[in-house]
Structures are given as C-alpha cells and as structure tokens.
Amino acid sequence: MERKKTSKSSARKSTGTRAKSSVKSRSSRPAARKSKKPKVYISSFKIMGMCGIVILICMLLLLTTNLISKDSTKKIASKDSVKTEKVAKEETKSKEVKKENNIEKKDSKQKTEDSISKRFEQEKKEKKVEPKKSEPVKKEKKEEKVQPPVQKKVEEPKKVVPPVVEKTTEKQPEKIVEKKETVEKPKPVKQENKFNLPKAKNNANLVFVFDDGGQNLYDLQKFLELPFPITIAVLPKLKYSAESAKRVRNSGHELILHQPMQAINRSVNPGPGAITPEMTEEEVRKMLLSNINEIGPIAGMNNHEGSAITADIAKMEVILKTASDCGIFFLDSRTNVKTVVPLVAKEMGYNYYERNIFLDNEKTRENALMELKKGLDIANKKGSAVMIGHVWSADFLPAFLKELYPELVKNGYKFSVVSES
C-alpha cells in the first residue's frame, strides 16, 4: 500500500513537474518567436532552374523577333519580285506588239512587192505575147514553102520565158542596195591635201640632207627607211662613224663627210677631227684626208659648225682644193652669213652647193612644215632647194616627212641627192 502511495505520489509529482515544464515551455515559445526571424534557404538546383527558365524565355523572344523580321523581308522581296515581273511582262508585251507591227509592215511590203512584181510579169508577158500573135501571120505566109521548122520556133519561147522573168524580179532590189554602199566613200580624198602644199613649178627638185650621223645607229635607221632619195652627212672619229657610213652606203642613199670646223664662239666644241684656225695648211690637208679615208668612199662633204673657218679665205682655199683633188663636192651649210665659199669657189672654178633651209632648228611639226613650205617656194622659183635636217630629230622628223611624201608627189615635186641636183 505504501508502495502504491509512493508510486501515486511520484506520479503526481511527475505530472506536476510536466505540467509546470509545459507551462514554462509554452510561456517561453512565444518569446523565442519574437526574438528570432526565420531564415529562408533556397537550394542551388532551384536557382539553376530559375536561370534556365529565364534563358529559355530570352531565346524564345529572340526567335520570335527573327521570324517576324524574316517574314517581313520575304513579304517585301515578294512584293518587289511581283513588281519586276509585272514590268518584265509589260516590256515583253510591248516587244511582242512591236514585233507584230514589224511583221505586219514586212508582210505589207512583201505584198506590195509581190503585187508590183506580178504587174511587171503580166506586162512582160503581154509584151511577149503580142509578137506571138503577129508571128503566126508571117509564118502562115511562109507555110506554103517551109512548114516543119515553124512548129519548133513556136515551142522554144514557151520554155525559156517564165524563168527569166522570175530571176529579174527577185534580183532587182539587191542591186540597188549595193549601189548605196559604194557611194559613201569620199573621205580619203580630203586627207590627201591636208598640208595645203603649193603645186610644183619649173620642175621643182627637193634635196634633203641629214647631218650629224655617227652618234648612234638607232636614230640613223629611221632616216634610211624614208621612201625617197636622201643625203646623209656622217661625223668622223666617233664610236659609230664607220658603221654609220657602211649602213648609208648599203641603203643606196648618198654618203658625205660632215667635216667639223671651229665656230666663232670658241666655247662651242666642234668635236674630234675638227679644223681650227691655228692649223697650218698642211695640218688642214692631213686632217681632211684622214677623215675622208675613214668615212669614204664619199660623194662630198659639208661643214659641221664652222662659222669661223668658212669666213677664213686661206683655210677655205685649202679645203676646196683638197675636195677638188679628191673628186668630191663641197656643200656650204651657211652657218655664217659672211661665208667666203662662193668667192673662193668662183676664183678656183669649182662648183659648190649651198643650204637653203634648216628644217629642225625648232623640234616641232609646225615649225618643220613652215620651213618646208619656204623651201618649196625656193624650189618653184630656182628649180631646186637644199633642206638640211639632223639625225637627232629622229623622234618626229622621219615620220613627218613620210606623211608629207604622198602629197608632195601628187603636187608634182621631184626628189634627188645633192650630187644630182
């Protein structure tokens, strides 16, 4: 009994303690809720899922915008293509209409031509039928004498007449077209007189001399290809002197020595092989013979520079006597107005030549044409004119003279070298 009581008492105590503890805990819970705020924990998987959703939404938005833009561009392109197709159709329709009009015109032309040809055929047949009616009358008279050949003559025209009429009617328009093509060609006639050169008088003879050969071969070759006779003057004792002389001889043109002589202006160097005022008569003679042997055989010589020497009577007496002894002519280039060559030559009884015109003191086509016309006037008055150019004008002078040559020939001018003038 006592144990039961103790157990009951202990039970009551325990229940009492529990009740108190529960009371305490109940009383303590609301205080804890007020002091501590609840923490929210989001897992990493949820975060990743949310990000993926956002990305998907953005991708969908981009796709929809791209699709909309493509649709709009396709619509615009389709509209443009429809417009171009309409324009193309309209153009094709217009072309077809033009073709139909052209075809109708051609058909109408053909019809008119056919009708005209038929009329020509009918007229020709009628013309040819009329004598057939008259022929039997004559033949009937002759039938009394000869009957068999009459039948053969009547049959022959029936076979020959029809094809002849068809050929003539078909080929007539073609002949008319050919005549129109041949008429339209008057242009070359105008170009023949483009330089307005005067007509030749007194059997005018033109002599062209080209100085300063021997400096190079390329420029020389252009002059050697000219289509008329010329005279080339070659300088002595240069690199290409001997070869230049050889080429001139082989070309068939006239070769002369271009003898260097001292100018009044002592600063001007006449070049190797020159005759100077300080030389004695023997030195002048030796120099001349040396140069003649180097370039020769030659037909003559002329002076290179030489305004001082050609005014010196003593020097010119030696030069002209040496030329006479060698059987060659002297051409005075007239580099000095006070030249004594005419005086010395007259006293010796020696024939000489002199220059009338320099073609290329200015290297232009206009100046060369002006000087050439002066030379033509001299040739028409005196019968001949000596015109000097230079090999160093090869960049324009040979081509220019080739252009002039046909008109000069047409106007009656003759060409020769110095020794034949």
Q: How far apart are CA 388 and CA 17, in angstroms?
A: 154
Comparing 345 with 136, which gets the higher pLDDT? 345
Q: Are 324 and 350 in contact (CB under 8 A)?
A: yes
User: Is the predicted pLDDT of residue 224 greater than 70, yes or no?
Assistant: yes
| pLDDT score at 44 | 79
Buried b (16+ CB within 10 A) or exposed e, 389-412: bbbebbeebbebbeebeebbeebe
User: Is the predicted pLDDT of residue 33 greater than 90, yes or no?
Assistant: no
Q: How far apart are CA 100 and CA 94, in angstroms?
A: 10
Where does 230-364 have alpha helices with state H?
241-251, 281-295, 313-326, 341-348
Where exactly are the structural domains of the chain?
A: 82-121, 132-172, 202-420
Q: Are 247 and 222 in contact (CB under 8 A)?
A: no
- Answer left, alpha or beta for residue 202, where phi above 0 means left and psi between -120 and 50 means alpha: left
Tell me, rounded to whole angstroms, the distance of Cα 31 from its chain centroid. 111
Q: What is the pLDDT of residues 73-118, one digit of tens each?
A: 666 666 666 667 776 777 777 777 677 766 666 666 666 666 666 6
Note every long-range contact of 113-120, with CB atoms under 8 Å and residues 24 or more positions apart, other chains counting. 113/173, 117/169, 120/165, 120/169
CATH number for domain 202-420, candidates 3.40.50.11540, 3.20.20.370, 3.40.50.300, 2.30.30.90: 3.20.20.370
Position 48, amino acid: M
| pLDDT score at 349 | 95
Section 262-289 average pLDDT:
96
Section 141-166 average pLDDT:
44
Taking the CB of residue 420, how many other CB atoms lie within 10 A of it? Answer: 13
Highest mean pLDDT among 16-25, 153-162, 169-178, 252-261: 252-261
- Among 110-119, 207-216, 260-269, the range scoring the smallest mean pLDDT is 110-119
| pLDDT score at 127 | 53
Q: How far apart are CA 330 and CA 261, in angstroms?
A: 14
Mean of all residue pLDDT scores within the chain: 80
User: Is the predicted pLDDT of residue 399 greater than 80, yes or no?
Assistant: yes
| pLDDT score at 31 | 46
Q: What is the pLDDT of residues 146-155, one digit of tens each?
A: 444 444 444 4
Q: What is the pLDDT of residues 333-358, one digit of tens each?
A: 999 999 999 999 999 999 999 999 99
End-to-end CA distance of the chain: 186
Which residues are registered as beta bridge partners of 354? 332
pTM over 0.75: no
How far, in Å, are 237, 270, 312 from residue 306 at the CA level?
Answer: 17, 8, 10
User: Is the predicted pLDDT of residue 209 greater than 90, yes or no?
Assistant: yes
User: Is the predicted pLDDT of residue 364 greater than 70, yes or no?
Assistant: yes
What are the backbone dihedrals phi and psi of residue 390, each rounded to the nearest 5 degrees, phi first?
A: -135, 145
**DSSP-assigned letters across all residues of 356-381:** -EES-SS-SHHHHHHHHHHHHHHHHH
Helix (H) or strand (E) holding 131: helix 44-142
Section 25-31 average pLDDT:
46
Q: Are 260 and 275 in contact (CB under 8 A)?
A: yes
| pLDDT score at 85 | 73
Taking the CB of residue 216, how many other CB atoms lie within 10 A of it? Answer: 16
Contacts of 308 (CB under 8 A, 6+ apart): 261, 262, 263, 264, 277, 336
Whose CA is closest to 233, among 346, 374, 328, 139? 328
User: Is the predicted pLDDT of residue 191 greater than 60, yes or no?
Assistant: no
Q: Report, in angstroms and rounded to the nearest whole number, the Rg of the chain calculated over CA atoms.
A: 59
Helix (H) or strand (E) holding 22: helix 2-35
Dihedral sign from CA coordinates of 391, 393, 395, 401: negative
Comparing 71 with 6, which gets the higher pLDDT? 71
Hey, is 124 helix, strand or coil? helix
